[in-house]
Amino acid sequence: PILDALWSDPVMSKGAQSNARRQIGLTFGPDFTEQFMEINHLRLLIRGHEGADYRQLKSGMGEGHDMTGGFSLDHKFSRGVLVTVFSAPGFPLIGSRKKTEEKFTDKVTSTALPLYSQGAFATIPATVNRICFTQFHLSPHPEGVSYL
């Protein structure tokens, strides 16, 4: 089902299994990604719904996959790559949180999480055979105008 695909997350271990942390979707390893991309003749797969704070609480991704710069090259192999991009720096994702000056506190796990200040977006120029990432910093939300 589409919900399984939307709420699934990469891990470094092989195979696919139930995503216990989200309680929906799957976790999937590099072997799963490579097989999916080969079957569908893909060289690049971009996903974009996993923030740095969620990634920090997830074990097993290894060094260099922490999302603090707004993106991560998650699964790399000879014929392709899986990329995760997160474009909403400072967005609280996990449970209800209490914001302090520099951190969010996840009330579910009582873990203090840094308030990350970088997001990113990806572009693929037509004349260049590569993906380009643009990183940006958190900025204050503009004052809203009520129309009611």
Angle at 97 between CA 94 and CA 99, to 5 degrees: 125
Token pair 């090259």 is at which residue? 73
55 neighbors 67 (Cβ within 8 angstroms): yes
Model confidence pLDDT, tens digit, residues 3-31: 677 778 898 889 999 888 778 888 899 99
Interacting residues of 1 by C-beta distance below 8 A, sequence separation 6+: none
Phi first, then psi: what are they for 57, rounded to 5°?
-80, -15
pTM comes to 0.71
Model confidence pLDDT, tens digit, residues 32-87: 999 999 999 999 999 887 777 677 766 667 666 777 788 888 999 888 999 988 87
DSSP state of 144: P
Q: Return the bridge partners of 44, or none.
A: 81
Model confidence band, residue 96 (pLDDT cutoffs 50, 70, 90) = very low
